[in-house]
A and B are shown apart, each in its own frame.
Chain A
Amino acid sequence: MATAKAMVERARGSSARRRQIVNFVIFLGPAILLTVVFFVIPVIVDIVVSFTDMGRSLRVTEFTTSQYERMFGGDPSLAHALSLTFIYVFSTLAIFNVTFGLILALVTTSIGRASGAFFRSVWLLPRMSPSVLYILLWIWVINPSELGLLNQILMTVFGLEKPIDPLSTAPVTLIVIANGFIGASLGMVIFTSAIRGIPEHLFHAARADGAGPLAIVRHITLPALRWPISFVTIYQTLSLLVSFEYILLLTGGGPFNATTVYALFIYRRAFESGQYAYGAALSLLLIIIGVVLALFGWRFFDMRKLLQRPRIEVH
């Protein structure tokens, strides 16, 4: 009798265990499978390929460390790409993504709600348009002939004598502005909701104490924006470091290598020159930087809430 009861217990236990496993496979299985195939395996493939001599034919003839020797042994265009990346990321971030995003958030929250929303949606337009189209507009606007919109305005309104050609005279400035127009809107949206979250009575109290608009920004708004600003900085550093879509479409990395940032350098080495192994070795460095920055991003998530234990133990 006692053994029968134990057997029933055990049977129930094992079926519960089986149900637990089946649930795990059904619910989490597909996500884990896709993640492993398209995140984990590519990283492994990347490491393996970086130690080969794979070229345009996609065939491997030998395993070698020559890619890394080349990488650290002074590829002159690599050094240029690295310093350019620093300039590009830093100026886009400092001028547009943080500063200008902050200015837009401050000014649009200081006027009427509807008008503020209107101007914010104007600044969201570049982010909402497909990249190919957004860059097409840039190429037309900066057309070096008199037909370009920029040149028409400069020549008729500002009395410029000859049309200018920013694509060849100031390509780095151009990619910073083109990316900045898109980058500013993320900061704008995040800062706006943070400003909205500041208790209204703080502003009233400050005004009653005789604080001017600048003092209010300095002593009330900015301290409340510390977290959002560091979040935007880290997040946008990461995306500026790795994304090259707009640059590829706008300048193709040129003239010559003038706008080939590190991420685009990898892309061009791999897909334009067919040096897949070298591209893989270069990618590995970017992957490591990316993971480190992503780990930094942890600080911004409320881990306790995220990891809160579920409350029902039924499978």
Chain B
Amino acid sequence: MDVIGFLNGELVQEKQAASLLQCNQVTQQYGQSLTPAQARQVAAAHQTALRMAHRIEFESDIPVKFNIAFCDSPFIEPSQYASILSQLLELFYYYKNELPHTDEELLVFMQDGFNGVCQGSLELLGERELPALVGRCRGLNDDSPDVPEDEGDEQ
């Protein structure tokens, strides 16, 4: 019985694109807005991110939450807004599988990291900050060197 496949097939993208467009009223105050095509692009990226992460979602408002959370970022050009939102969603679902955080906690962490230490760099967020958070959650010391010191002493 393919209930999961049935869920993914229902006009989810259209609904999400519509709710993303409704957010324009809020995001326009910060100079960001999505065109209908861009909203569909973000909704499609959301579905792809879910599929890539092997996750299933019900009546999600995650794209809307991302839209609201990142619209006031000083590091996002209006022309790149849709593309960055899509990449942030991809990172979000990838790290949802790795982290025990709730949706809200991970979103806040990403928002703080992106607007803070990463200075708007998705690479730093995805390759340094989020993996470091995973390491901390698994009890690993991210400050420890990759090569043990003993190997250096032998030379």
Interaction A to B: no
